[in-house]
Amino acid sequence: MAASAVDFKYIYPFASVLEEGDERRLRLATYGGVEQNPYFFKGRLCYPRRTADLLLAVSLISRTHFYSPIDVLQFADPVVTSGGERLRFESFSVCCGAYCRLDLKPEAIDGDWTGRGTTNVDFNPPMRAALTGLLDSETVGLNVGTDRVELERGSEKVVEKKVKLPVRWLKGFVEVQAYQSRMKPAMEVSSVELRQLLKSVSQQATWQKGSTYYIVPAGKGLRLSQRDAPRSVAIGAPGRLKILETLLRHASTIRIYSGDDGVSGWELALNEASLHLILSPDASRGFSGEGQVLRSLSSDQGLDAINRVRAALQWQARVDVEELSHLTKLNDTLAITNALRILGSRGLVGYDLAQSSYFHRELPFDLDLIEDLHPRLQKARKLIEEGGVKIMLHNSQTIEAYVKGTNVEHRVVIRERDSQCTCAWYAKHPGERGPCSHILAAEIASGAEDKQAAKVE
């Protein structure tokens, strides 16, 4: 069974190539944006070899299967954002269970910022071969535009390419930032410590479905355990970390982040760049199917704050809540934070673990598709339209409802800290992968009741 995808037609103005000459220039063909041939950034790489290794890692992630489900996805091109201060490259693994982001800071790139935006990058085989051969002693130019990323040379050709963009990527981008916004720093280790740990990790550990391991501090190093312990970090399929091995020689520090849901984050910090690898709780779980943003997508509360915050976004590399408060004239920081969370669920901001803040980028996809890509949300709205939700109790502590199922009514109980449903989906994933369609329908319906009561008052 083929994986669902959205058809996009990409027109590349030339083939990605490494130009030879007195100064080698690498040109990455891209497609995106609304204007013809403007540039966001024009300059050069300050550390060509290290930057090439990092870019190759982002590309490798997008071509790697850590887990092979029946509906295998095609490869996809990384997304690059120019924010006027740094360049960000983002990609998912083919199975969507690993997310990678490379941030090139001002120290990594020298040049002129002439615009801001997001586009897609074509890492074709000749380009990957070219990146492999770069040296730090060379001068390598870098230009990023709405329809191209250049590190140039060679004859320019327009390449038309029909691409089926995996639906999982669109959903994964909005899901992974929701996880990251809840994660906390867990520990900081050296590249030597992580390298020693990875030597003990079997590549087969990548494929073990349903097995949870823990990274545990041990003296001056780390060890892998199948038992939880103080200060440990849960990680499903730890073999996925081996993709970082070749990059450890470049990293000065490795920061590890964790959440209560089994998602882990790994930051390789360099002086001029950082690379983040975010791993799902299990190799078989892609971020695209998690459903963490369903409540945000279904919510229209705080619409005024959402619109004000969105209007104030200006491709900031770091979205500062206090600055937004000044720009939007909103004194409620909680309302601003909630607005950012909702905008994140709609693909309009990402989350940076290193800075514990959101950053502005607009995915180069049709963002109107995002809500339509979630079947649980679509089913919840249909249940409401068909009168399939009966609210039996609704007060400040509890909502109880009966929601229509297949030949049965399901009892839904919603409280502040947890929700329950009698359906089979909830029994399989009790609160771990977002709400089921019945809980979501009851939440939306009870919110509609609140609005009606407000109108009467």
Residue 364 in domain: yes
HSE value, Cβ hemisphere, 13 Å, CA-based, for 410? 25
Domain range for 342: 294-369
Are residue 48 and residue 159 in the same domain, yes or no?
yes
User: Which of 1, 13, 70, 17 is closest to 37 using CA atoms?
Assistant: 13
Total tally of structural domains belonging to the chain: 4
The mean pLDDT of the chain is 79
Are residue 160 and residue 19 in the same domain, yes or no?
yes
Residue 327 in domain: yes
Are residue 300 and residue 281 in the same domain, yes or no?
no
- Which domain CATH number covers 360? 1.10.10.10
In this structure, the number of other CB atoms found within 10 A of the CB of residue 227 comes to: 9
Are residue 261 and residue 132 in the same domain, yes or no?
no
**What are the beta bridge partners of residue 92?**
99
Q: Can you give the pLDDT at residue 374?
A: 77
pLDDT in tens, 361-397: 887 666 666 666 678 888 898 999 999 999 999 988 8
Are residue 236 and residue 329 in the same domain, yes or no?
no
Q: Can you give the pLDDT at residue 8?
A: 46
Residue 361 in domain: yes
Per-residue pLDDT band at 265 (split at 50, 70, 90): very high
pLDDT in tens, 276-308: 999 998 888 888 766 666 666 666 666 788 889
In this structure, the number of other CB atoms found within 10 A of the CB of residue 4 comes to: 12
- Which domain CATH number covers 116? 3.10.150.10
Q: Which of 246, 264, 287 is the last residue of a domain?
A: 287
Residue 171 in domain: no
Burial zone of 183 (CB within 10 Å; 0-12 exposed, 13-18 middle, 19+ buried)? buried
Are residue 149 and residue 10 in the same domain, yes or no?
yes
In this structure, the number of other CB atoms found within 10 A of the CB of residue 297 comes to: 19
Q: Can you give the pLDDT at residue 51?
A: 93
Are residue 115 and residue 152 in the same domain, yes or no?
yes
Q: Mean pLDDT throughout 135-150?
A: 76
Q: Taking the model in full, what pTM does it have?
A: 0.78
Are residue 74 and residue 162 in the same domain, yes or no?
yes
Cα distance between residue 367 and residue 165, in whole Å:
13
State which amino acid sits at residue 379.
K
Are residue 270 and residue 330 in the same domain, yes or no?
no
Are residue 273 and residue 350 in the same domain, yes or no?
no
User: Does residue 358 register a pLDDT over 70?
Assistant: yes
Cα distance between residue 220 and residue 243, in whole Å:
23
Are residue 161 and residue 197 in the same domain, yes or no?
no
Are residue 405 and residue 330 in the same domain, yes or no?
no
* 307 contacts: CB under 8 Å, gap ≥ 6: none
Cα distance between residue 279 and residue 295, in whole Å:
22
Per-residue pLDDT band at 5 (split at 50, 70, 90): low
User: Is there a contact between 265 and 98 (Cβ–Cβ < 8 Å)?
Assistant: no
Q: Can you give the pLDDT at residue 43?
A: 83
Q: Which of 250, 266, 287 is the last residue of a domain?
A: 287
pLDDT in tens, 75-134: 567 788 888 788 999 988 888 889 999 999 999 998 888 878 887 776 777 777 777 878
Q: Can you give the pLDDT at residue 36?
A: 45
